[in-house]
Amino acid sequence: MSHERQSGRESSTKAGTRMNVLIVDDQRLSRAGLVKMIEWEKLGLTPAGECANGRDALERIGDAEADIVITDVRMPIMNGLELIEKAKEQYPDIAYVVVSGYDDFQYVRKSIQLTVADYLLKPVDPGELNELLAGLVRRGEERHRKAEADLLRWREQFFHFLLEGAYGETGSKLISEFAEIRFADPEDRFVAAVFESRLDKPAVYETLRPLADRLAVCVLRIRGVYLLIAAAPSLVAGDIASELKRLADSSREIARISIGNAAEGIIKVKETVGQAFDAYTIRTSRKADRADEPATFESLEAETADFVPLSAAWEQEWAFHLRQGNRRAALDKLDELLDIGHSAHPDIVDGSYHYVLLRGARELYEAGLIREPDFLEACRIARSLPSIVSLDDKQRTVTDFFRNRLKETDSENAMETRLAVEKAKAYIDTHYCQTINLSELAQNSYMSPGYFSSLFRQHTGRNFLDYVAHLRIEHAKSLLAADPSRKIADVALQCGYQDLKYFRKLFKRHTGITPVSYKEDAAR
């Protein structure tokens, strides 16, 4: 997994959003001249202030949220090149332009080494300056688009990990990781919706743009359907239902929208997601379901009795036996359901087979008792049930699925599972500086992500996220110890972190000191 993050200082280089320019020169008239030359409105630039030396500028860059720094070379206290060298350690994404009255190759060469955007001689030509700034604006906008795409990917990855149980049982790590993706306030209300669509994910996001303009929105592709997670300070399932109904009517590309109840805070997101999937399962179990009409879990919950002709307590007990892998008890409860089902209305019994099959298969998959091919087989069987005319044949089909897969744990299966986890661990140990996805590792081992995550913790003593972070930070320490002259930003990249601020935070969390302090200690 990659923990790349955008810096906490949001880039302002969004298309249509103004970039901030900080001007640094010890001559007041020179600063005023640059301010007058720049075509602020035409280029979409905003003055971020003026400084008379590099030290003042270094202190101001962060607060001013500067995107471009135009600096003179020779200044008292700290010159322009020293400013750039120190500032790039903290703000590697800022563009730097050197302006000087000295036609000195030494300064030009040093500027190139510092990857400065350009080197302009005084007196500065206004046309040349504005042409240079226009190019920086274009590159800034492109950088912002990439950052937005990266942030979207990190948000999707966070929610995948959340649903997979990778953050453990405590909420502190979850809250910390959630803050890094800047999605919403952790105390906001969250609503999940499951829906069908033939569109690819970028097209789905485009369809949902009106919703995303008002709410924090993330879309995942899970089990053959789309999962939408939305957040806002005040949000109810009905809000999402009405909004998605309008979008579905206008696009005709979203169907069978199934919505969970609103959950209070990020800690309870899994509840609304589970309800959304339960609502979807109920809908696909019905003979007559209007695919174009959204439905909430609250409105469908009462219908569960129509598909399971016993009490909710029966269903909970059956699900408990499945999760525990108690084969005999689970099959007995299933026989109990299906036997009593014969006395119910045929339509109710017919729907119950579909519901019980998918609900039970999901319980087994999430508990790690069946693997993904088995879960997909359950989905295939569910789609075939309507073509099976005899209720007895339907009952036999559903019962056989669980009887064939609910097997007593044996030493051979345990050994196979252990070897799969060891293989995954060996891969992580070798590729920890690359993007590593828990879902893909679990899929390659034919396990559910949640079950794989649990086994990984048992095997290594750390959860998946902590294990990868530990390897990366240890590698960073070795790089800095071996060569204290390395730039912190370069070390972060070599360890798999594109966001320097997040890397510094993680480094301090694991070592108790900042990367700069560790670097200084290593240099002594």
pLDDT in tens, 338-383: 665 555 555 556 667 777 888 888 888 777 777 778 888 888 888 7
* pLDDT-based confidence at residue 51 (cuts at 50, 70, 90): very high
* pLDDT-based confidence at residue 178 (cuts at 50, 70, 90): confident
433 vs 190, higher pLDDT? 190
For 329, which DSSP code? Answer: H
Q: With the CA atoms of 325, 327, 333 and 334 taken in that order, what torsion angle do they form, in degrees rounded to the nearest 10? A: 100
The CATH architecture assigned to 19-142 reads: 3-Layer(aba) Sandwich (3.40)
Residues of the chain with CATH 3.30.70: 165-293
The pTM is what? 0.61
Structure tokens that stand for 237 in this block = 């399932």
CA–CA gap between residue 326 and residue 322 (Å, rounded): 6
User: Which three-class secondary structure state does DSSP give residue 187?
Assistant: coil
Nearest to 263 by CA among 209, 193, 316: 193
pLDDT at 2: 36
Average pLDDT over every residue of 134-154: 85
Per residue in 372-392, pLDDT tens?
A: 788 888 888 887 887 787 777
Q: With the CA atoms of 312, 318, 320 and 323 taken in that order, what torsion angle do they form, in degrees rounded to the nearest 10? A: -130
263 vs 6, higher pLDDT? 263
- Is residue 477 within a helix (H) or strand (E), and if so which, with residue range? helix 464-482
CA–CA gap between residue 422 and residue 420 (Å, rounded): 5
Residue 481: φ, ψ to 5°: -65, -35
Residues 114, 88: contact at Cβ < 8 Å? yes
* pLDDT-based confidence at residue 168 (cuts at 50, 70, 90): low
* pLDDT of residue 122 exceeding 90: no
Please give the CATH topology (third level) of the domain spanning 416-523: Arc Repressor Mutant, subunit A (1.10.10)
Residues of the chain with CATH 1.10.10.60: 416-523
Q: Report how far Cα 221 is from the mean position of its chain's Cα atoms.
A: 12
Structure tokens that stand for 356 in this block = 């019980």
- Going along 136-254, which residue ranges are E strands? 189-196, 216-222, 225-232
For 253, which DSSP code? Answer: -
Q: Report how far Cα 238 is from the mean position of its chain's Cα atoms.
A: 25
Structure tokens that stand for 261 in this block = 């109840």
Structure tokens that stand for 169 in this block = 């049982």
pLDDT at 190: 94
269 vs 368, higher pLDDT? 269
The CATH architecture assigned to 165-293 reads: 2-Layer Sandwich (3.30)
Residues of the chain with CATH 3.40.50.2300: 19-142
